[in-house]
Amino acid sequence: MKIIAVANQKGGVGKTTTSVNLSAALAAMGKRLLLIDLDPQGNATVSVGIDKAAADATVLDLLVDQMPLKRAVTHLPQLALDCIPANGDLTAAEVALLSMDAREQQLKKALSAGDPHYDFVIVDCPPSLNMLTLNALVAADSVLITMQCEYFALEGLSALIDTINSVQQTVNADLKIEGILRTLYDPRNALTSEVSEQLYEHFDGLVYRTVIPRNIRLAEAPSHGVPGIVYDRLSRGATAYMALAGEFMRRQEQNRKDPS
């Protein structure tokens, strides 16, 4: 079971869209998938068709009430994946976690006590470095960073990498960067090419070749309660996420052959 946190301290850079569509694409490839929504906005929850206000159990129950993993999970047979939903109650979880022992370890504890029959656990992090994000980084094997190719993106990226380094040095020595994904990509913009070049220069081997374009069908999909790859599987956004899933799996295979 590999745990991947999808993170960026900046909002609006495709974290949730990536978490949901990569999960659905990997599930469509036959992988056993758990999607965890760790954002109180609950956007990933809504994007897979769960009514966040009526969810039987949420991440709050998992982290604070220490509900067993299998009871906190909502099964989504139509997408062939499982999800642990989130809603506004998760804001209370952050406050509650502050008074708990080993507060940054609660997600890790819940996942390691659960049934490890998943191939991948994908965690959609909130757009800030808070106790919830820290729980994700402590539990995760790797971090998938989504970012837009825009002026302040590299600054935000270096702040996130500082955070990852700090987590490595203190609570999770094995944490790695899974990859850097360029989202809302517009090749007509000169700045896009400039930022891409800098990414390749500084993070060679980590940048996914697949890019996710700006795509109206991906933006429409959450209001229909399905991932973009289901809403319109022939759209440019959907085909990009299927390509990303393929590239992601090739990297997993490569890492297995060459663990260094």
Instruction: Say whether pLDDT at 2 is over 80.
Output: yes
Q: Which has the closest alpha carbon to 9: 194, 166, 209?
A: 166
Instruction: Go through the chain and tell me how many residues it has.
Output: 260
Across all residues in the chain, what is the average pLDDT?
93
Residue 260: band (very low, low, confident or very high) from pLDDT cuts 50, 70, 90: low
The average pLDDT across 81-109 equals 91
Architecture of the domain spanning 2-254 = 3-Layer(aba) Sandwich (3.40)
Instruction: Say whether pLDDT at 11 is over 90.
Output: no
In whole angstroms, how far apart are CA 117 and each of 24, 37, 70, 106? Answer: 17, 19, 11, 20
Parse the chain into domains and list their residue ranges. 2-254
Q: Which residue has the higher pLDDT, 99 or 114?
A: 99
Cβ 74 vs Cβ 85: under 8 Å: yes
- Which tokens hold the place of 210? 């697949």
Cβ 52 vs Cβ 228: under 8 Å: no
Round to whole Å and give the CA distance between 205 and 139.
24
pLDDT for res 246: 97
In whole angstroms, how far apart are CA 107 and each of 12, 93, 114, 123, 170? Answer: 24, 12, 11, 10, 17
The average pLDDT across 93-120 equals 88
Instruction: Say whether pLDDT at 255 is over 90.
Output: no
pTM of the predicted structure, to 2 decimals: 0.95
Report long-range pairs for 234-240 (Cβ below 8 Å, ≥24 apart): 237/21, 237/212, 237/213, 238/21, 240/210, 240/211, 240/212, 240/213, 240/215
Q: pLDDT tens digits for 33-63? A: 999 999 999 999 999 999 999 999 999 999 9
pLDDT for res 227: 97
- Which tokens hold the place of 214? 């700006």
**Identity of residue 209:** R
Round to whole Å and give the CA distance between 222 and 226.
6
Sequence-separated (6 or more) residues with CB below 8 Å from residue 105: 135, 138, 171
pLDDT for res 221: 96
- Which tokens hold the place of 27? 């599930």
DSSP β-ladder status, 74-76 and 81-84: antiparallel
3-state secondary structure of 125: coil
Q: Which has the closest alpha carbon to 109: 141, 73, 142, 138?
A: 138
Round to whole Å and give the CA distance between 44 and 208.
22
Which one-letter DSSP state was computed for residue 228? H
Cβ 90 vs Cβ 60: under 8 Å: yes
Q: pLDDT tens digits for 171-214? A: 999 999 999 999 999 888 888 989 999 999 989 899 999 999 99
- Which tokens hold the place of 98? 């502050």
pLDDT for res 259: 66
Q: pLDDT tens digits for 17-31? A: 999 999 999 999 999
Radius of gyration of the chain (CA): 17
Question: pLDDT over 70 for what percent of the chain?
Answer: 99
